[in-house]
């Protein structure tokens, strides 16, 4: 590629420590743990490529050079790495990468999540649904009842107008956050320097009624431990078979 690369439209968060995935992550960062035949990070990057993203930022910290080396030869999307000498958490990691990212809206996905597509690709749906006139944040959410391996109490209530409300003091909420989102960079104004969580960003958007949700209509797999990897493999294989069948029937769309 010649000339100065344009700003990336997407970012993949790959700097976590992966402690729950030990001992696999003793010698490998969690985003490179293989699931369904390839590293989780590659599943996300391949989905970005399929949705037309030609460039993405990937941050890294724990065993970060392995991630830098792994993505070095990718062309679709071309990857710009954002190494973190000190772990900056999700919010700090995105803020550090802002100079490399689009000024209007950024699609962000965790590197260690796995999902199968619904009727349309999740990234396509997110980009189409994001309305900067009314939204500062659009979070992809999934029904708690249908999340394979998810055993939490849920994160959000999805209101009739599409806005999100946190679970708060409620015993449970019907939807959990998938780790896929579109954010306005202006949310990072007046945020802390150094490490902080993206929850700071969500709270800003929620407070002004500009945090919306989009319900993912495909499969979602929570893979947090070595046991979950092996237990989920046959279920994922079946889900991918169904996904490929649907794509073939619809002409690849």
pLDDT averaged per 10 residues, the chain (length 253): 56 92 91 90 95 95 95 93 95 96 94 91 95 96 92 94 96 97 96 95 96 96 84 82 72 57
Distance separating alpha carbons of residues 243 and 218, to the nearest angstrom = 9
pLDDT at 7: 61
Tell whether domain 10-249 is in CATH 1.10.3720.10.
Answer: no
In angstroms, what is the C-alpha Rg of the chain?
A: 17
pLDDT at 253: 54
Yes or no: say if 41 and 70 are a contact pair by the CB < 8 Å rule.
yes
Distance separating alpha carbons of residues 62 and 215, to the nearest angstrom = 31
pLDDT at 10: 96
Tokens coding 112: 């260690």
Tokens coding 171: 């015993």
Distance separating alpha carbons of residues 253 and 248, to the nearest angstrom = 8
pLDDT at 251: 62
- Domain ranges in the chain are 10-249
Region of 118 (left: φ > 0; alpha: ψ -120 to 50; beta: rest) is beta
Tokens coding 188: 């990072």
């Amino acid at each position: 590629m010649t000339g100065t690369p344009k700003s990336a439209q997407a970012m993949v968060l790959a700097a976590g420590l992966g402690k729950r995935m030990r001992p696999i992550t003793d010698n490998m960062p969690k985003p490179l743990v293989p699931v369904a035949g390839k590293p989780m990070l590659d599943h996300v990057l391949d989905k970005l490529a399929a949705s037309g993203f030609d460039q993405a930022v990937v941050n890294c910290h724990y065993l970060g050079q392995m991630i830098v080396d792994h993505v070095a030869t990718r062309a679709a999307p071309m990857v710009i790495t954002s190494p973190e000498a000190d772990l900056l958490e999700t919010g700090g990691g995105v803020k550090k990468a802002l100079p490399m990212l689009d000024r209007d809206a950024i699609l962000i996905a965790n590197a260690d999540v796995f999902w199968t597509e619904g009727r349309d690709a999740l990234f396509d749906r997110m980009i189409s649904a994001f309305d900067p006139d009314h939204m500062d944040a659009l979070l992809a959410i999934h029904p708690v009842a249908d999340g394979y391996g998810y055993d939490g109490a849920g994160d959000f209530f999805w209101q009739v107008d599409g806005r999100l409300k946190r679970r708060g003091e409620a015993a449970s909420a019907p939807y959990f956050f998938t780790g896929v989102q579109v954010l306005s960079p202006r949310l990072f104004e007046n945020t802390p320097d150094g490490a902080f969580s993206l929850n700071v960003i969500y709270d800003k958007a929620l407070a002004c009624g500009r945090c919306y949700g989009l319900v993912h209509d495909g499969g979602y797999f929570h893979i947090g431990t070595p046991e979950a990897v092996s237990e989920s493999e046959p279920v994922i294989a079946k889900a991918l078979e169904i996904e490929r069948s649907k794509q073939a029937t619809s002409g690849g769309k």
